[in-house]
Structure 1
Amino acid sequence: MPKAFFEHLVFEKHLSKHTIAAYKTDLIQFEQFCKDQKINNLLSVTSKDIRRWIIFLLTQNLNSVTVHRKLSSLKSYYNFIQREGLIKDNPAAEAILPKKQKKLPQFIKENEVDALFDDTFFSNDFEGLRDQNILHLFYLTGMRRQELIDLNIHDVDFSRGVITVTGKRNKMRSVPLPVWLLDQLKEYINFRKKHFSDGPDNLFITLKNKQLYAKLVYRIVNYYVSRIATLQKRSPHVLRHTFATQMLNSGADLNAIKELLGHANLAATEIYTHNSFQKLKNTYNQAHPRA
């Protein structure tokens, strides 16, 4: 795999570190599959080889979403080397995939959210204050995990009451914050300055005065959410789903939610209407005398 392809993903496509890491994993797995099939040159891969790859993935009990992503990685790779003139046709271009299984986003119930932000949950030291702010920002802005990791102190505009979030493809958006959270963030920043000096510009840091990393953020969220909810998934994305679902249930405009989440199109946001409709349906069944 040429180094130039990954530079293309970084500098031209502006993909996140997480997405690029997934591409690398997918391509390494495909390369190994090719070697097992006695194909030693990725430039000689045919559309039949791609179909065999898809069948192989389906036999591994992978869900259709994962298979779609892996094929997307291959299409991007072969599009790039086709553009570079190394192959004539993209062997992955015409591949037919199984239908995606639509899974409704999991979210935390409103009564569980109240329990999640109980002050007694968090210790009175730097770590407790940091974790509390992380959870509040996820819940009140719907930002993604990498977006939170990439936040810098100067991204919080205390005078305007907004936080600037840098999303996918470096697209920036401003999300309003309530006054009480701005005060809480000030307290955290002042506390941090007293205990850490000459650290990174990142808003949130580790106890070793380094930038946060993805696994740590996941562990933080998982730890607190597991104490109040019985959800199978307890990742930062669950708080993003909770933000969107509760905004929609409270009557927020779908286009406004789209902008706050940083979605490229409305279709990605519309999945939250399924949860909202289900809640409406349940209310109808419980309240209507003829239901």
Structure 2
Amino acid sequence: MDLFFKYLTYEKRYSPHTLTSYRTDLGRFAEYLAQTYQLSDPAEADHTIIRSWIVSLLQNKMEARSVNRKIACLRSYYKFLLKTGVISQNPMLKVTAPKAGKKLPAFLPQETMQQLFEQIEFADTFEGWRDKTVLELLYGTGMRLSELIGLTENAIDFHKKTIKVLGKGQKERILPLNASLENCLETYLKHKTLEFPDNKPAALLVTAKTQPLYPKLVYRIVKHYTGLVTTSQHRNPHMLRHTFATHLLDNGADLNAIKELLGHSSLAATQVYTHNSIEKLKAIFEKAHPKA
């Protein structure tokens, strides 16, 4: 297992978040094998044993999407074992993933986002401007949580009005800065310089103790401020990414352009946002058409 995770880290360059999830999933699978089949090595499991674990997860009311993530982990693991010669046959070839119903991405209306940035007061302090910058970056660029945390000051080019993001698989992409975000970044950086005059951290977004922001803190920031303008239960960083993409599409942006901005590897991942727009069109049609 240690070799597998080194392979994912250094060769496949998986994100820390994915690695944590895979460690948890593989650990729970190993526990199941030990308790149910007295197997100490997952390499000894065949497709019937793997299927029995999947059935047990579904019987415990786990959502199909979560089960499929665990299956994806096992697919990677057994592919690795096959590649390194630990096993001669891949048991996952006989394992079928359960069908998961597609959920439409949750997003906030444009009026709600306007209210967040125009009516909510942020403290005129380092932390107040940092929190506002977090929200402006997530909604203004559609970047992922891991990309936000990994930003450095060098990533910003105020002359070209762009920011460089390091995405999945260490792929770089350049994102444009809107005027509001640019002003927010400039003010935040001034406060950051005043806050840490002797030892300014290289990470763009930091805590009061000069450490880079961590996921739980970003979640808290997003949940707190969006809670001031909405009662939605989906108040998290990824929801702002969905909001960014949906608002672009609603305002006529090309789907391929949205794909590039989001850093998706295929258009299929981006097309989910068209469903939100179709629902909006249906609502307008039903409200406005005489025969609706």
TM over 0.5: yes
Q: Distance in 1 between matches of 2:195 and 2:279?
A: 48
Alignment of 1:51-130 (within 5 A): 51-118=51-118, 120-130=120-130
Residue equivalent to 1:251: 252
Residue equivalent to 1:156: 156
1:184 to partner: Cα distance: 2.1
1:167 to partner: Cα distance: 0.5
Q: Does 1:46 align with 2:46?
A: yes
Q: Is the Cα contact below 8 Å between 2:125 and 2:191 reproduced in 1?
A: no
Question: For each residue in 1:265-284, what CA deviation from the matched residue of structure 2 results, as whole angstroms up to 9, or x when unmatched?
Answer: 00000000000000001001
1:78 to partner: Cα distance: 1.0
Helix, strand or coil at the partner of 2:93: coil
Q: Distance in 2 between matches of 1:184 and 1:111?
A: 20
Residue equivalent to 1:268: 269
Q: Which moved more, 1:264-273 or 1:92-101?
A: 92-101
Residue equivalent to 2:8: 9
Helix, strand or coil at the partner of 2:51: helix
Q: Distance in 2 between matches of 1:94 and 1:230?
A: 44
One-letter amino acid of the structure 2 residue matched with residue 207 of structure 1: A
Residue equivalent to 2:239: 238
Q: Distance in 1 between matches of 2:134 and 2:119?
A: 14
Helix, strand or coil at the partner of 1:174: strand
Q: Is the Cα contact below 8 Å between 1:153 and 1:202 reproduced in 2?
A: yes
TM-score, normalised with respect to structure 2: 0.97
Q: Distance in 1 between matches of 2:205 and 2:119?
A: 19
1:193 to partner: Cα distance: 1.1
Q: Is the Cα contact below 8 Å between 2:192 and 2:200 reproduced in 1?
A: no
Helix, strand or coil at the partner of 1:175: strand
Q: Is the Cα contact below 8 Å between 1:199 and 1:210 reproduced in 2?
A: no
Alignment of 1:130-169 (within 5 A): 130-169=130-169
One-letter amino acid of the structure 2 residue matched with residue 190 of structure 1: K
One-letter amino acid of the structure 1 residue matched with residue 76 of structure 2: S
Q: Is the Cα contact below 8 Å between 2:140 and 2:181 reproduced in 1?
A: no
One-letter amino acid of the structure 1 residue matched with residue 136 of structure 2: H
Q: Is the Cα contact below 8 Å between 2:227 and 2:235 reproduced in 1?
A: yes
Q: Is the Cα contact below 8 Å between 2:81 and 2:87 reproduced in 1?
A: yes
Q: Distance in 2 between matches of 1:198 and 1:9?
A: 34
1:119 to partner: Cα distance: 5.3
Q: Distance in 1 between matches of 2:113 and 2:184?
A: 18
Question: For each residue in 1:126-159, what CA deviation from the matched residue of structure 2 results, as whole angstroms up to 9, or x when unmatched?
Answer: 1110010110111011000010000000101111
What RMSD in Å do the two structures reach over aligned CA positions? 1.1
1:199 to partner: Cα distance: 4.0
1:181 to partner: Cα distance: 2.1
1:94 to partner: Cα distance: 2.2
TM-score, normalised with respect to structure 1: 0.97
Q: Distance in 1 between matches of 2:6 and 2:251?
A: 43
Question: For each residue in 1:179-199, what CA deviation from the matched residue of structure 2 results, as whole angstroms up to 9, or x when unmatched?
Answer: 342222112112101111324
1:4 to partner: Cα distance: 1.3
Residue equivalent to 2:285: 284
Helix, strand or coil at the partner of 1:233: coil
Helix, strand or coil at the partner of 2:92: coil
Q: Is the Cα contact below 8 Å between 2:13 and 2:169 reproduced in 1?
A: yes
Q: Distance in 2 between matches of 1:200 and 1:58?
A: 46
Residue equivalent to 1:229: 230
Identity %: 44
Would you say how many aligned residue pairs link Structure 1 and Structure 2?
A: 290
Unaligned runs of 5+ in 2: none
Q: Distance in 1 between matches of 2:191 and 2:229?
A: 28
Q: Distance in 2 between matches of 1:181 and 1:26?
A: 38
One-letter amino acid of the structure 1 residue matched with residue 271 of structure 2: E
Residue equivalent to 2:184: 184
Helix, strand or coil at the partner of 1:105: coil
Question: For each residue in 1:99-142, what CA deviation from the matched residue of structure 2 results, as whole angstroms up to 9, or x when unmatched?
Answer: 11100000001111112113543111111100101101110110
Unaligned runs of 5+ in 1: none
Question: For each residue in 1:219-277, what CA deviation from the matched residue of structure 2 results, as whole angstroms up to 9, or x when unmatched?
Answer: 11011111211212111000000000000000000000000000010000000000000
Helix, strand or coil at the partner of 1:92: helix
Q: Which moved more, 1:191-200 or 1:268-277?
A: 191-200
One-letter amino acid of the structure 2 residue matched with residue 161 of structure 1: K
Helix, strand or coil at the partner of 1:163: strand
